[in-house]
């Protein structure tokens, strides 16, 4: 039995119809025939009761709006702005402390049928993602477990770059003065053991398979939602 309560053959057919239907909505393919449309709807109804989390559904609804209105939702915050502005400084600091020499941040956008993204850094067999904490109170000094979302993100990067190792690196950098509205704190002279926190882990093939299955379910949800517009 395939996913969503369908046979493997039905699952494959549903994916085919879903892809053509979505592309037709976006003007990239011919519309489904009446028979195809009826077949797709019947298989959607037949799928099992597996449900996507509400947060995922909300994200997919926003994605559809971005495609329909040709406008990308803007997300702005001082925390995000700091992360972008000090990313190179964070990589340079990490490299200096670990004697890694000159490191060039990655700017390659990797993509596959199910996953896409750009890791911050690739060194040998390892991909890196850097997070710059806003201040010492948001720096994960005592954390012992990796954030699940960041872990998942780096699993995707390992898959895309064919690496087997990953490191999530938090650094505590000075916040650019133009972003500080109260007292400026200088962390320059703080020992590096209090300014760098990293988590190392390996590639999880089974997780990537689960991502592929989830993406397929998302595509069916998108097609189902669009038919109701």
Distance between CA 122 and CA 41 in Å, rounded?
Answer: 44
Distance between CA 60 and CA 225 in Å, rounded?
Answer: 10
Give the pLDDT score at 48.
Answer: 44
Return averaged pLDDT per consecutive 10 residues of the chain, 229 residues in all: 64 86 86 86 61 83 91 86 94 96 94 95 96 95 96 97 98 91 89 98 94 85 82
What token pair was written down for 5? 């309560």
Distance between CA 173 and CA 196 in Å, rounded?
Answer: 10
Q: Which of 205, 224, 213 is CA-nearest to residue 8?
A: 213
Q: What are phi and psi of 200, to 5 degrees?
A: -110, 140
Give the pLDDT score at 75.
Answer: 80
Are the CB atoms for 98 and 136 separated by under 8 Å? no
Residue 154 class from Cβ within 10 Å (0-12 exposed, 13-18 middle, 19+ buried)?
Answer: buried
- The ranges assigned to domains in the chain are 3-72+211-227, 78-208
pTM of the model: 0.76
- Report the topology of domain 78-208: Lambda Exonuclease; Chain A (3.90.320)
Q: What angle do CA 154, 158, 164 make, to 5 degrees?
A: 115
């Amino acid at each position: 039995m395939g996913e969503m309560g369908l046979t493997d053959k039905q699952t494959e057919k549903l994916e085919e119809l879903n892809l053509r239907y979505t592309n037709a909505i976006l003007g990239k393919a011919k519309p489904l025939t009446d028979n195809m449309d009826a077949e797709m709807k019947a298989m959607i109804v037949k799928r099992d009761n597996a449900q996507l989390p509400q947060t995922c559904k909300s994200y997919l609804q926003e994605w559809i709006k971005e495609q329909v209105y040709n406008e990308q939702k803007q997300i702005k915050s001082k925390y995000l702005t700091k992360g972008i502005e000090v990313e190179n400084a964070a990589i340079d600091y990490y490299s200096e402390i670990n004697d890694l020499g000159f490191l060039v941040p990655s700017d390659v956008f990797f993509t596959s049928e199910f996953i896409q993204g750009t890791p911050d850094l690739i060194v040998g067999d390892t991909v890196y993602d850097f997070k710059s904490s806003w201040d010492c109170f948001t720096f994960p000094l005592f954390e012992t477990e990796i954030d699940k979302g960041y872990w998942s993100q780096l699993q995707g990067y390992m898959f895309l770059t064919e690496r087997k190792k990953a490191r999530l690196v938090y650094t505590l950098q000075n916040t650019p003065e133009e972003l500080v509205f109260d007292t400026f704190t200088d962390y320059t002279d703080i020992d590096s053991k209090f300014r760098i926190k990293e988590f190392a882990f390996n590639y999880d093939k089974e997780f990537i398979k689960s991502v592929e299955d989830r993406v397929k379910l998302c595509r069916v949800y998108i097609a189902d939602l669009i038919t109701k517009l």
